[in-house]
Amino acid sequence: MLLLHFTLLLLSCCVLAQFNFFDMFGHQQQQHQQQSSGGSQWASHADSVSCSQYLCPDTHMCVDRVAACPCPNEQDVKCIVPDALDDDGATVVCVRGANECAEVNRLMRRFSK
């Protein structure tokens, strides 16, 4: 039962991170109100960085695609889950612990059948 809860939590985090679920329903206004100073600081910093490709929102690094963004915390490990429909596409999940990528891949294989 605990594994089922963990699996559902992991998959819902992947979906939320991949599709910006809360932004679709107007929750970005609430988030911007709470982080108005941080948001304005990020916007001014983003304007000063010359990036012709993709600017990672958490780390302010300029990368060629979203999947190339590093995890925001140094302790996190970036797990890349290949997209079954797009050879160049992938989902990125940041986890803590060296063995957690294996667990993410195992869960993705289990639920992709």
pLDDT for 97: 82
Are the C-beta atoms of residues 109 and 82 closer than 8 Å to each other?
no
Q: Give per-residue pLDDT as tens, 23-43.
A: 555 554 554 444 445 666 656
The reported pTM is: 0.49
Residues forming beta bridges with residue 55, ordered by sequence position? 62
* pLDDT value, residue 20: 55
Q: Are 90 and 66 spatial neighbours (Cβ–Cβ below 8 Å)?
A: no
**Residue ranges of domains in the chain:** 67-113
Neighbours of 70 (CB within 10 A): 15
SS3 state of residue 88: coil
Question: What dihedral angle (degrees, nearest 10) is formed by the CA atoms of 69, 24, 30, 8?
Answer: -70
pLDDT band, residue 51 (cuts 50/70/90): confident
Cα separation, 45 vs 40, whole angstroms: 8
